[in-house]
A = this chain, B = another copy of it.
Amino acid sequence: MASDKGVTPRSEDFSRWYTDVVQKAELADYAPVRGCMIILPYGYELWEAVKGGLDRRFKETGHQNAYFPLFIPESFLKKEAEHVEGFSPELAVVTIGGGKELEEPLIVRPTSETIIGWAYAKWIQSYRDLPVLINQWANVVRWEMRTRLFLRTMEFLWQEGHTAHATYEEAEEETRRILDLYADFAIADAAIPVIKGRKSPQEKFAGALHSYAIEAMMGDKRALQSGTSHNLGQNFAKAFDIKYLDINNELQYCWTTSWGVSTRFVGAIVMTHGDDKGLRLPPRMAPYQVVIVPIYREEDEKTPVMEAAWRMKAALVAAGIRVHVDDREGQTPGFKYNDWEMRGVPIRMEIGPRDVEKQSVALARRDIPGKEGKQFVPQEGVAAAVQDLLESIHATMLQQATGMRDANLFEIVGDYGRFGEVVESGGWALTWFCGGAACEQKIKDDYQCVSRCFPFDQPYPGQQGPCIVCGHRSAEMAYFARSY
């Protein structure tokens, strides 16, 4: 069992390690309803950082936020055949309202394509109304009893974008633009090196023409789908009658898209970067980028140390850096170091009597343990030094994650046995794949994994190769890996 202060070592039991870290760093807790979780303040601040990073990018690309109802009439769900089939087993249904049995049960939204489709049909008349570029931040519910905090919960928070366009090309462009935006966010803000690609027909969203995703490798090498973007074609437009008069005054069905990132992304941050000491937060996402730990023994040391600590804080805040002074009484500096390492703060600033004397501070990096990650810098100009260090930490974390991932990607051609060895040992296999349901099912049965995506970045563009299962000529290679 994990000690009160530590966590199960990551190498020993990744799953236990994850749960320990999420709880001990106070990101989330279990709820009284099975399948649900409580997002604690520190975890919610991480989610706010995800929201901030994405929302800014959505607005920069012309999207607006709106809010659609939680409840969807049951009949709506049934209008798109694939969609209802995909979501039926996962629904929570309200049958009683205001003390009375409802005539038509209401579904707690598992996703909002249907109700937004209804609204778009009402709002869109002419090509002049297009494109419609709307996003919503909301909670959704998919029935699920096996909770894994952030990764798999009955209720989760997410954003869901829903757009309508005049042509296939525009919808496709939007779908790809959003995937690029997600990847940019993951890499630039969260230091998670994601792979962009297209889902197989089996793995696409229920009702989509095709789905794209960003896939990330977690610390145990499993894949985590971290964001998805769907070109819905005209499927929902036909189901909900979303039509517009084109420039020639002819009625046309719209082309729609939808795309989402959820609180699952918080789990991705934990599992990509964490280590045996706990969380490691990428500097751009960290609620606190710097924690200042004052060090003193005698009372007469305290005043100058605390004065320096608050002065350093003021200098960092003025530079826009998020910083916290840990002035808890009755806790040793060592306890505080462990505590903030658990919480993943990128930089620890130590200030003791000798630092006050020397007009310097010690900066310890969370990403590089021990002496190697520690340096003394002058108090004068500390903000610039911290800023540089935060940049360097981001770069190092991205590099570490990329290195770990690339060491576990294996290109396999034609050798199904070797393919099995790779995925069973946790690696990702990149292999020619026909995309067929039977081939994908066989891999699932044999090796408990499915395709992650056909990556955009193909190693042999324009060439063909034999599907790893059936041997038929295939135009693309796909990644296969065990996943969350």
Contact = CB atoms under 8 A, between A and B. Distances in A.
A106 to B, nearest CB: 6
Given A99-B88, A106-B33, A40 B69 contact: no
The listed residue with most B CB atoms (<10 A of its CB), out of A39, A44, A67, is A67
Interface string A91-109: 1111111110000011010
Contacts of A122: 29
A359 interface: no
Contacts of A64: 41, 44-45
How many protomers of this protein does the assembly include? 2
Interface string A107-138: 01000000100110010000000000010001
Nearest to A96: B93
A71 to B, nearest CB: 5
Interface of A: 29, 31-33, 36-41, 44-45, 47-48, 64-73, 76, 88-99, 105-106, 108, 115, 118-119, 122, 134, 138-139, 141, 143-145, 154-155, 157
A142 to B, nearest CB: 9
Contact of A38 (B65, B66, B145): B66
Contact of A91 (B44, B65, B98, B108): B98
A99 B95 contact: no
Nearest to A108: B94
Contact of A98 (B36, B105, B106, B143): B143
Contact of A99 (B41, B70, B89, B138): B89
Would you list the 7 A-B pairs with minimal beta carbon distance, nearest first?
A98-B143, A41-B64, A36-B69, A93-B96, A39-B67, A31-B69, A95-B95
A44 B66 contact: yes
Given A32-B115, A94-B108, A98-B143, 12 more contacts: A29-B119, A31-B69, A32-B76, A33-B106, A38-B119, A41-B66, A44-B67, A45-B65, A71-B155, A89-B98, A91-B98, A95-B95
Contacts of A29: 119, 122
A157 B95 contact: no
